[in-house]
Amino acid sequence: MATLISRRTALGSTLAVTALSAPSIAQTRDRVARVWGEPGPYVGVFTNGLNEWAQRNAPGLRFEAEQIPWDQVYTKLATDLAARRPPALISVESPIAYQLAAEGLLEPMDEVNRNIRAAERLVAGFTVDDFGTWKGTQYAVPLHHQGCLLVVQSDAVQEAGLSDPATWTWQDLLNGARAIQQKRPGTAGYTMALGRNLCGDYHVQQFIWAAGGLTWDPARNFETVFNSPATIEAYEFIKELYATMPRSAVEFSFLQVVDQHVAGRTGMSAYWGRTMGRAADEAQPIFRNMEYYLNPRHPGTGQSWSWTDINGWIMPRRNNAFIRESKEAIAHVMNSPEWMARYTNSLFPNVGPVFKDTASDAAVQRHPMYEAKRRSVELIFSGYVPKACNSGHELKRGINPLGGIGHGRNVWSQVAQRILVNNEAPRAAVEWGHRQFEDIRRENRRLIE
Amino acid sequence: MNRWLAALLYALLCAVTFVVCFPLLWAISTSLKPKEEIFRWPPTLLPERFTFESYRELLFGGSAASAPGAGTPPSDFFLHWFANSIIVSVGSTVISITVATLAAYSLTRFRFFGQRAVPYVAIMGYMIPSVIFVFPMFLTLVELDLTDTLLGLTLGYVCITLPFCLWLMWAFFRGVPLEIEEAALVDGASRLQVFRQIVLPVALPGIIAASIFAFIVSWNDYLFGRVFMNSMELLPLTVGVMHFFDGTHVDWGLMMASSVLMTVPMAILFGFMQRHLVAGFGAGAVKG
Amino acid sequence: MRLRLTDRQVGVLFMLPFLVALLLFLVWPIAEAVRLSFVRYNPLRPEVQPFVGLDNYRFVLEDPLFWESFHQALIWTGWSTFFQAVIGVGLALLLHQPLRGINAFRGLLLFPYIVPTVVIALNWRWLFNSEIGIVNHLLLQAGIIAEPVAWLSTPDMAMASAILLNVWKYTPFVVIVVLARLQTIPTELYDAAKVDGAGALRRFRDITLPQLAEVLAVVVVFRTIWTFNKFEEIFLLTRGGPGTSTYNLALYAYDQSIANLRMGVGAAAGVLMLLVLLVASFLYIRLTGFGREDRAA
């Protein structure tokens, strides 16, 4: 028995030693600069470009891509900043960039933007400032853009005898969704995300802006103006529209909206380029009939807006050992038309090219999806850009760092959920949301003063 | 027993077992379907065409979905994650059990101040929601420079498994009679000899039950792994597989295949130790 | 080993690692949590931590969502524990029958306890998917429902699905404990009752139940506390949705800490949970009779 136990002890201690030594093994490697990006292959492609620079100019340095699911950005940021080991580079949608810039956590990027002549090369409708300028300093390097649009199955529209979706107002959308639902029992007319998540926030905000509402007004000292009649009208409209959606839309996020569309269970949906990409991969019949349009106009204001991921590279300033190298490596990749085309093509047509030269690059225009869906792809890549804004840059009225904080709390979608799930009156729900936004403004006053 | 009653009981048992096992059977079935069959409506109960594609992707890499040169697809990390989970679960189990066994023995065989309160403090420790101390603990690890290391995660798991292990071992040792030990001590054996040669063999069922428990808790954890770890190649399985949700696409085949693979080690462990589990827990562990 | 240690030194030495671990990994983090609950702490700016007195507690106690979460945590805990206890005892009795092959059934029925939460939460999302889930399909085919049920999209159904998950996963714990206790009930008691002509039901009521009462009470307290604290099940299944209808306190604390960047508020919510827990623990200790264990040994 004694020998048996000692063997067991020996086994145990061996395992314990393995457990203890594993981390040290992991740490005796090259210098690794971590690069955060959204899930999807594109960060990986860009990182390959960064590594091309590193191999030539900084031996022993390696860039490593890490995919951060959208809803985990804050967990990762908070823990990594607390642990004093931030990533070297982050590809991030601009509201978070605005917030971090205002917090003073970011490294200025004016120099990189000069080196890549960003201002001259940007597609019409964007300025470098849109990506993350705060108080005159540029903190972000334009990387890509994705706008949320109306995705339509043209066969469904034809069957229901509807007019050209390019001309639609809200009323046409609602009628169209109803007509499709009637023609195709068992499928939804329209699908958007209404879950308590980022996607829900984005989809809801587009309607608010079209109606002329906004959350904070940068022109008036960032006053909270959420509880306007326009906002209430938008939520009332969403409630009407919900009748044409799947019941489970109130738990939908990014994934479910795309699933719904690609599986042919909805005639129309609100989404970014990815729906087209997935349909091309998985459902050719859906892909063949798919078209993208600007979001329907509000009948009164005539406005149409797209929630846009105005995505740029930002760099944490403190405890970042890779600032100089990363800046040079970014410039290397972005000055290379080949890498930029490769980046755009890595998940077609999800990553809209930010530079005119990339958008007109032959390698991009030869992409099979570009050739098959020229009109839609050009809308996704450049046509919609004048309508591009987001939570931190509402109606393009000015950059607002509070938008990023709003993201973490999903107030916009929660208001919708209060109305749809709890049957609260739109006015009351909007007032609730107004109080949340007012709290955010009060708590984070220091950012906007 | 009456034959009809026995038949009835068997029928009942089979029905319950089917309902209980159904989620896992469905996971297995899904994991063996080719991608296009997974989303078919109405769904097929058994795969029409069996494929081990999802398993191959997890175990041997080379995801078909990834574009060339587009970075490493998450599925290529699966074996890393698997190894990490084994390392941290075994590591924390070994530490917890060693520390708990020693302490429990000491508590039941020696007298000192506060002795009776210790197990109760420990069990309360186990009842404290991990959400309370996950962040403070993370900040402690920051000071020790142990974040994003397997050692840090191992220590985190020790903190959630140790209290209950102590409790189980304490309950177990209380049930072990003192006479043999005392006789051995009188015969001139040292305390350490007694502990190694007499106490440990007797305590084996308790140690096994507590080990299973500690292993399960560490293997199943999600929160600590999510907060403490960062690098793709250092994640535990539970946190890693969530990367198969990439926001706009989820590969249910991969998901279910990894579910099955994650459950297998537990099933093997459980198959061997099931007897001890009931015995170990039964030794008054939750009786006070 | 020739080192001479007195018996007492061995005793202290054996305790030492545990006490160090306890101090480092339990007492210290909790003290730290209590400290955090009195400061304002934005995790993006960990270097600024002004003392704010009771502000965080005031914030939590005035937040309707906290009370909503509290209420929902009670519902989720109450039903989960109730079903676990009832089904657990039933299954334990069934598995206690002297049938051939019962060990195989025991293994299969205790199995859910060891299935990782991530696995089961994902499985649940897959099974209960309202569009292409197998559960809806089977129910539709059997004619039990006329149209797909939106399992995770309506507040009541989402809560029910979450409870079902919890019951599925943790009933085996009750079974294990009850089964262990059943095995210690002397069979003579039953034989005597049979001789007296007591039917199966009477025997259950008069012998089994009283024998189980103590262990059941303890198990219920354990399960209540553990379920009340659960984070992962709900986080992975519904994230508290739809709306905030399946939010519980653990989720509230987590979301405040991370998503809302209010670490102090999250900590305050955690400390309040701790207080609730202390009350429950007190109940537990009273039930088991703290200080009586010397007689039991």
Q: Which domains does chain B have, with CATH numbers?
A: 3-74 (no CATH), 77-282 (1.10.3720.10)
What is the ipTM, given to two decimal places?
A: 0.85
Strands A149-153 and A31-37: unpaired
The pLDDT value given to residue B178: 80
Q: Which of the four pLDDT bands, split at 50, 70 and 90, describes residue C216?
A: confident
Q: Which of the four pLDDT bands, split at 50, 70 and 90, describes residue B278?
A: low
Which residues on chain C are in Cβ contact (under 8 Å) with A197?
239
The pLDDT value given to residue A240: 97
Which of A194, A201, A250 to mutate against chain C (most C CBs within 10 Å)?
A250
Tell me the nearest-neighbour CA distance from B39 into chain A, angstroms. Answer: 8
Note whether C270 contacts B6, CB cutoff 8 Å: no
CATH 3.40.190.10 fits domain A30-147+308-374? yes
Average pLDDT over residues B183-198: 83
The pLDDT value given to residue A277: 94
The pLDDT value given to residue A201: 95
Residue C169 pLDDT exceeds 60: yes
User: How many domains does chain C contain in total?
Assistant: 1
Note whether A39 contacts B227, CB cutoff 8 Å: no
Torsion sign, CA atoms B134, B139, B145, B148: positive
Average pLDDT over residues B128-148: 86
| Most confident region among A10-19, B87-96, B138-147, C193-202 by mean pLDDT | B87-96
The pLDDT value given to residue B279: 63
Give the whole-angstrom CA distance, residue A193 versus residue A389. 18
In a domain, C259, yes or no: yes
In a domain, C72, yes or no: yes
Tell me the nearest-neighbour CA distance from B150 into chain A, angstroms. Answer: 6
Q: Does B193 touch chain A (CB under 8 A)?
A: no
Give the whole-angstrom CA distance, residue B155 versus residue B178. 33
Here the contacts of A432-441 (C-beta below 8 Å, separation 24 or greater) are: A433/A226, A433/A227, A434/A224, A434/A226, A434/A227, A436/A409, A436/A411, A437/A215, A437/A216, A437/A224, A437/A226, A437/A402, A437/A406, A437/A411, A438/A224, A440/A402, A440/A405, A440/A406, A440/A409, A440/A411, A441/A216, A441/A222, A441/A224, A441/A402
Q: Which segments in chain A show pLDDT lower than 70?
A: 1-29, 70-71
By Cβ distance, the residue of B26, B166, B263 closest to C116 is B263
Note whether A421 contacts C131, CB cutoff 8 Å: no
pLDDT digits (tens, 9 = 90+) for C66-120: 999 999 999 999 999 999 999 999 999 999 888 888 888 888 888 888 888 999 9
* Alpha carbon of residue B141 to chain centroid: 22
Domain positions in chain A = 30-147+308-374, 149-307+396-448
In a domain, C170, yes or no: yes
* Stronger pLDDT, B92 or B186, i.e. the higher one: B92
Give the whole-angstrom CA distance, residue C68 versus residue B285. 35
Residue A31's φ and ψ, nearest 5 degrees, are: -75, 130
Note whether C46 contacts A77, CB cutoff 8 Å: no
* Alpha carbon of residue C95 to chain centroid: 23
Q: What is the CA radius of gyration of chain B?
A: 23
In a domain, C6, yes or no: no
The pLDDT value given to residue A14: 46
Which residues on chain B are in Cβ contact (under 8 Å) with A258?
248-249
Nearest C-alpha in C relative to A71: C259
The whole domain housing C278 covers 57-289
Q: Which of the four pLDDT bands, split at 50, 70 and 90, describes residue C4?
A: low
The pLDDT value given to residue B209: 82
Q: Does B175 touch chain C (CB under 8 A)?
A: yes
**Protein fold of A149-307+396-448:** D-Maltodextrin-Binding Protein; domain 2 (3.40.190)
Kindly report whether the global pTM for this prediction surpasses the value 0.90.
no
The pLDDT value given to residue B98: 94
> Same fold for the domain at A30-147+308-374 and the one at A149-307+396-448?
yes
Give the whole-angstrom CA distance, residue A205 versus residue A415. 11
By Cβ distance, the residue of A196, A259, A409 closest to C260 is A409
In a domain, C116, yes or no: yes
pLDDT digits (tens, 9 = 90+) for C14-24: 889 998 888 88
In a domain, C38, yes or no: no
CB B156 within 8 A of CB B228: yes
Which residues on chain A are in Cβ contact (under 8 Å) with C150?
246-248
The pLDDT value given to residue A29: 55
- The CATH number of residue C136's host domain is 1.10.3720.10
Note whether C97 contacts B9, CB cutoff 8 Å: yes
